[in-house]
Chains A and B, each alone.
Chain A
């Protein structure tokens, strides 16, 4: 009896092992054959996000790989290291795109891509992740409303510090109907990113 059941256990175990090997092999083969395509896809999506802020004719470098690791910074709202992407044209710096965070959205953190031209003006802003109320605060998404474009071309002197607020607080930027906190958070985050750029411009393009 004991011998038989031990044999059965061995056979079953061997069978399970066999399937694990076959399954893992198949997955490994697939992974190997799709790896390039997946990396390419990830790069393409990243590029698409970056190029939404900078028209392709303004740069000729490989922006997705011309990166800079930035330490955590209160001005960027980051608590961990973040990546910045540098755009150049014929070797000359054109703009830099920061991963910024607006920490005080209505429902927590709002992740932004903020493009800053080399002269310190805003190239463009996009929201990449947020948890704002659907139907109210989500007007910050470009596919819901063009509001986020209102930063294009603005800089620390245009408008001045008092103007970098939503209209309800006496500034220049519209709030969204029914939502003031979300735009307020983003206006502050964009301005802080510009401040960060002014303080660190030398370091950013070495």
Chain B
């Protein structure tokens, strides 16, 4: 049984969905051209993860193992559809930007992976926490990647924040350099791969630094 701190560290760092498990890459690479897009998809995925983990954990005693995967898929699909509808009703402009990638959360392997690998064999509390932490880990990477690409690609930060936070948030947008010509590569799909690679390198570099504390070095990242 995992302790809460271990679940937290797993989700945020040592078993991070995007940087270590390398799951959910399709939406990750496709929508992270700006911070706001990244956060938007990140939050939607986070909510899906928490809800699906909680529900799966609640019913884990009743579901026979022959039908567990179809049941999980049903749960996830329902949750995602509900989130999609809610988003269309509440954040329509952001929905227009993220478009197809919201329904595609269903196919994010991280979600069924956590349902099958964690929630179906742990109590509700830890499962919800696991969903929250895995989702947060994913969200943070989406936001970082979005920020990296937005700064390099457009020279701005938090552009289009009004899509998510309403018109008042327009002032959140930071223009770092008025004359920046823009570096399209960062905005185009290849930039997503370069950016993710940079983040993975940074994480591995931090992990492999010689630990100054006496405790054993953090475990090497597991394979995808």
Say yes or no for B197: interface residue by CB 8 A criterion. no
Contacts A15-B62, A19-B71; is A30 near B82 (CB within 8 Å)? yes
Cβ-defined partner of B184 (8 Å) among A30, A42, A135: A135
Cβ-defined partner of B78 (8 Å) among A23, A38, A45: A23
Q: Is the CB of A37 within 8 A of B89?
A: yes
Question: Complex: how many Å from CA A63 to CA B184?
Answer: 38
Q: How far is the CB of A159 from chain B (nearest CB, A)?
A: 33
Say yes or no for A170: interface residue by CB 8 A criterion. no
Say yes or no for B77: interface residue by CB 8 A criterion. yes
Q: Is the CB of B86 within 8 A of A30?
A: yes
Contacts A8-B64, A27-B81; is A20 near B74 (CB within 8 Å)? yes
Say yes or no for A11: interface residue by CB 8 A criterion. yes
User: Which residues of A sit under 8 angstroms from B75, Cβ to Cβ?
Assistant: 19, 23
> How many of chain B's residues touch chain A, expressed as a range?
20 to 34
Say yes or no for B70: interface residue by CB 8 A criterion. yes
Question: Complex: how many Å from CA A135 to CA B182?
Answer: 9
Contact mask B89-112 → A, CB, 8 Å, 1/0?
Answer: 110110010000000000000000
Question: Complex: how many Å from CA A20 to CA B66?
Answer: 16
User: Which residues of B sit under 8 angstroms from A24, Cβ to Cβ?
Assistant: 78
Say yes or no for B217: interface residue by CB 8 A criterion. no
Question: Complex: how many Å from CA A30 to CA B64?
Answer: 28
Q: Is the CB of B89 within 8 A of A45?
A: no
Question: Complex: how many Å from CA A113 to CA B88?
Answer: 24
Q: Is the CB of A41 within 8 A of B64?
A: no
Question: Complex: how many Å from CA A31 to CA B78?
Answer: 11
Say yes or no for A81: interface residue by CB 8 A criterion. no
Say yes or no for B67: interface residue by CB 8 A criterion. yes
Q: How far is the CB of A134 from chain B (nearest CB, A)?
A: 5
Interface size on A, residues (CB 8 A): 24
Q: How far is the CB of A130 from chain B (nearest CB, A)?
A: 16
Q: Is the CB of A15 within 8 A of B64?
A: yes
Contact mask A113-143 → B, CB, 8 Å, 1/0?
Answer: 0000000000000000000001100000000
Question: Complex: how many Å from CA A23 to CA B81?
Answer: 10
Q: Is the CB of B67 within 8 A of A15?
A: yes
Q: How far is the CB of A200 from chain B (nearest CB, A)?
A: 32
User: Which residues of A sit under 8 angstroms from B96, Cβ to Cβ?
Assistant: 45
Say yes or no for B85: interface residue by CB 8 A criterion. yes
User: Which residues of B sit under 8 angstroms from A38, Cβ to Cβ?
Assistant: 85, 88-89, 92
Question: Complex: how many Å from CA A113 to CA B135?
Answer: 40
Q: Is the CB of A23 within 8 A of B92?
A: no
User: Which residues of A sit under 8 angstroms from B85, Cβ to Cβ?
Assistant: 27, 30-31, 34, 38
Where the two chains meet, the residues of B that have a C-beta atom closer than 8 Å to any C-beta of A are 62-64, 66-67, 70-71, 74-75, 77-78, 81-82, 85-86, 88-90, 92-93, 96, 182, 184, 187-188
In order of increasing CB-CB distance, the 9 nearest A-B pairs are A23-B78, A41-B92, A37-B89, A34-B89, A12-B67, A30-B82, A34-B85, A12-B64, A38-B88
Where the two chains meet, the residues of A that have a C-beta atom closer than 8 Å to any C-beta of B are 8, 11-13, 15-16, 19-20, 22-24, 26-27, 30-31, 34, 37-38, 41-42, 44-45, 134-135
